[in-house]
């Protein structure tokens, strides 16, 4: 399998996984609490906050196609089971493995909400493409995936508590969309 074929394969598998996980969890997921909305509303439009749902899970599962990924010789595949959260389109999963206080909980939700906005602006197919290509082009290093760096950068700004900003507007600019 050539590099391009491998990437196309992973994008397709990743996209299918995102959609199936979203459809599985959205059924029981809950709307964001009043308190969470209050913390996040300076940064996210009501429409976006209303869109997002969240669900607690014992841990984040690795994708079912992971054994195949390992066989392809990818050096350090992301271990999702160690992650605090993950977002599938408009559905945020939060792992019970990681304990939280109110501050770290809100910070995590903020990070995942940035992913909700990325999906909202890009669509799930394009999100999967950018995520996998960004991963492959940066040595399969999770910390260097541009969509993650975008989320971590804004999360840091949120944690620092400076002036507020609209995540949708910022991401629109960064994606080069005309709004």
Binding residues for Zn ion (CB under 5 A): 148, 151
5/89 with CB nearer Zn ion: 89
Return d(Cα 116, Cα 101) in angstroms, integer: 22
> Given its phi and psi angles, is residue 66 left (phi above 0), alpha (psi -120 to 50 degrees) or beta?
alpha
Closest to Zn ion by CB, 69 or 113: 113
CA–CA dist 157, 125 (Å, integer): 28
Provide the token pair at 153: 């950068």
Provide the greatest CA pair distance for the chain.
49
Residue with Cβ nearer Zn ion (94 or 151): 151
Contact 144, 138 (CB under 8 A): yes
Minimum CB separation of residue 144 from Zn ion in Å reads 13
- Residue number of the CB atom closest to Zn ion: 151
Residue 148 C-beta: closest distance to Zn ion, Å: 5
What are φ and ψ of residue 83, in 5° steps?
-85, 150
Shortest Å, Cβ 169 to Zn ion: 20
- Rounded to a whole number of angstroms, the minimum distance from the CB of residue 106 to Zn ion is 15
For the CB of residue 112, give the shortest distance to Zn ion in the complex, in Å. Answer: 7
Q: How many CA atoms lie within 13 A of 154 on its CB side?
A: 27
Q: Which is nearer to Zn ion, 53 or 115 (CB)?
A: 115
């Amino acid at each position: 399998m050539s590099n391009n074929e491998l990437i196309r394969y992973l994008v397709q598998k990743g996209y299918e996984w995102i959609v199936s996980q979203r459809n599985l969890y959205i059924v029981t997921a809950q709307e964001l609490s009043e308190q969470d909305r209050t913390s996040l509303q300076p940064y996210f439009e009501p429409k976006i906050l209303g869109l997002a749902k969240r669900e607690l899970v014992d841990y984040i599962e690795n994708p079912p196609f992971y054994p195949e990924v390992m066989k392809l010789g990818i050096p350090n595949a992301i271990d999702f089971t160690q992650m605090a959260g993950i977002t599938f389109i408009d559905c945020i999963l939060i792992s019970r493995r990681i304990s939280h206080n109110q501050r770290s909980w809100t910070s995590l939700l903020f990070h995942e909400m940035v992913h909700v906005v990325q999906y909202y602006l890009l669509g799930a197919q394009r999100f999967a493409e950018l995520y996998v290509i960004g991963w492959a082009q940066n040595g399969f290093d999770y910390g260097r995936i541009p969509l993650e760096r975008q989320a971590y950068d804004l999360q840091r700004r949120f944690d620092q508590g400076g002036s507020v900003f609209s995540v949708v507007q910022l991401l629109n600019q960064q994606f080069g969309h005309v709004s």
